[in-house]
Amino acid sequence: MSPSKSIFLKALNREILPTAPIWYMRQAGRYMPEYRAIRKKFSNFMDMCKNPEVCCELALQPLNAYELDAAILFSDILTVPDALGMEVNFIEGKGPIFNNPINTANDIFNLPIFDPENVSYVFEAVSNIKNAIHEDIPLIGFTGSPWTLAAYSIEGQSSKNFNKTIGFLKEQPHAMETLLTMLTDACFIYLRKQVQSGADVVQIFDSWANLLNEKEIESISHKYIKNLIQYLKQDSITKDIPIILFSRDPKCSSNSLIETKADCLSLYSTMVNFEKELTYGRVAIQGNLNPKILLESRNIIKDETYKILSKYKDYPGYIFNLGHGITPDINPDNVKYLTDIVREF
Ligand code: CP3
């Protein structure tokens, strides 16, 4: 990697750039016909994630289509609970279903220690992708946040309000702390191995931060994200790896997110009044076009995109991205159009 050439790494290093680097959350996925052609060969999405050659091919698809400034590992955040014996499968029309979710405090105390051998397929995918991409294109590895992984592990499936998880949090706070601590350790080992295998940057997805109130987000989510970031910053292998934090619609101040010590904050679409003045010079920013805008006309796409680019044009460390992942209903031609107009700005 010649880091001096990557505008993505420059932005993460808080440089002001003439053009914003671009990548998209969920840039590989069902909205792409090339993805669907491969996906239909697997009935269970998890089996596809366990095939490092296929993961490599899928990670390259969006780079080939749009010449993006970063690649992201093709995998899923649910590989970690799967590796802890919870057996995650994806059922058509239902999303992820856990065979052994956490039901009681004892289930937590009986969890095995995370063994990275159980996810060796992820590290193989990382090294395959790293070998296949141009040396100037950084590769992003990722994990779910401890809280987000705990929420899926208890709920055992996707849910709108995660009632079982919220109930468990109220009734079993000590067991919850144990689970969050175990997951923090697992995430650290998981990311460290991804870096050893070739990841240049890592992103932490706190996709269910929105379930927590302002007080809980500190003690249930950010406390463990801070620990994870501290472990990464202290480790000889990961200490110089930029860390991006995506938090979905968090009920907290921008300061609380900055205090996690992430190098870059990935802003959710609703974070329009995020205090730019407060974050200026302290943290890089990524985001945050609402993915739904990609369903609108080209005039609207351009207006909304240029509003965001104007806002951040002199910001030290700005990366263009969406506020959340691309959804399956988006037309790939609009993703191409969006990429072109960001570069023309
Ligand atoms: O290019 C990329 O970003 C692809 C890599 C990637 C996937 N999942 C592939 C995927 C990444 C970074 C993720 C992260 C992920 N997985 C998150 C955090 C990001 C976010 O959106 O907040 C979460 C919460 C998950 C868990 C997950 N994975 C769910 C709940 C689902 C089912 C819902 C859905 O979108 O279908 C998935 C499935 C999934 N992960 C797909 C892909 C491409 C679709 C699977 C399919 O083809 O059926």
| Residue tagged active-site, from 69, 76, 82, 263 | 76
Q: Whose CA is nearest to atom 41 of ligand 1?
A: 29
| Residue 157 burial (10 A CB sphere; 0-12, 13-18, 19+) | middle
Going by alpha carbons, the residue nearest to atom 10 of ligand 1 is 76
Assess whether pLDDT exceeds 60 at residue 2: no
Whether 26 is a known active-site residue: answer yes
Q: In this model, does residue 91 exceed pLDDT 60?
A: yes
Spell out which residues line ligand 1, taking CB within 6 angstroms.
Answer: 25-30, 39, 45, 72, 74-78, 90, 95-96, 142, 158, 205, 207, 325
Ligand 1, pocket-test mutation among 22, 24, 25, 26, most atoms within 8 A of CB: 26
Distance, first Cα to last Cα, the chain = 28
Task: Give the model confidence (pLDDT) of 280-304 as tens digits.
Answer: 899 999 999 999 999 999 999 999 9
DSSP per-residue codes, 2-29: -GGG-HHHHHHTT---SS--B--TT-SS
pLDDT in tens, 98-126: 999 999 999 999 999 999 999 999 999 99
96 alpha carbon to ligand 1 midpoint, in Å? 10
- pLDDT class of 3 with cuts at 50, 70, 90: low
Whether 268 is a known active-site residue: answer no
Q: Residue 144: is its pLDDT beyond 90?
A: yes
Mean pLDDT on 200-208:
98
- Whose Cα sits closest to atom 45 in ligand 1? 45
Q: What is the pTM of this model?
A: 0.97
Q: Report which DSSP code applies to 332.
A: H
CA distance 298 to 344: 15
* CA 157 – ligand 1 centroid, Å: 13
Distance 227 CA to ligand 1 centre (A): 25
Mean pLDDT of 145-170: 97
Query: What percentage of the chain carries pLDDT values higher than 90?
Result: 94
pLDDT at 266 over 60: yes
Across the chain, what does the average pLDDT equal? Answer: 96
- Name the band, by pLDDT with cuts 50, 70 and 90, for residue 244: very high
**Which residue in 24, 31, 35, 152 is the catalytic one?**
152
Q: Which residues contact 340 (CB under 8 A, 6 or more apart)?
A: none
Considering 30, 136, 185, 231, which one is annotated as catalytic? Answer: 30
| Residue 30 among the catalytic residues | yes
pLDDT interval class at 277 (50, 70, 90): confident
Domain boundaries, the chain: 3-344
Alpha helices in the chain (DSSP H): 7-12, 33-39, 45-49, 52-66, 79-81, 105-109, 120-132, 146-155, 163-171, 173-197, 214-216, 223-234, 254-258, 276-279, 298-311, 332-344
Give the pLDDT confidence score for residue 316 in this predicted structure. Answer: 95
| Rounded Cα–Cα distance for residues 211 and 220 (Å) | 11
The share of the chain scoring above pLDDT 70, in percent, equals 99
Ligand 1 mean position to 76 CA, how many Å?
A: 6
Mean pLDDT value across residues 179-193: 98
pLDDT tier for residue 273 given thresholds of 50, 70 and 90: confident
Residue nearest to atom 5 of ligand 1 (CA): 74
Judge: domain 3-344, CATH 3.40.50.170.
Answer: no
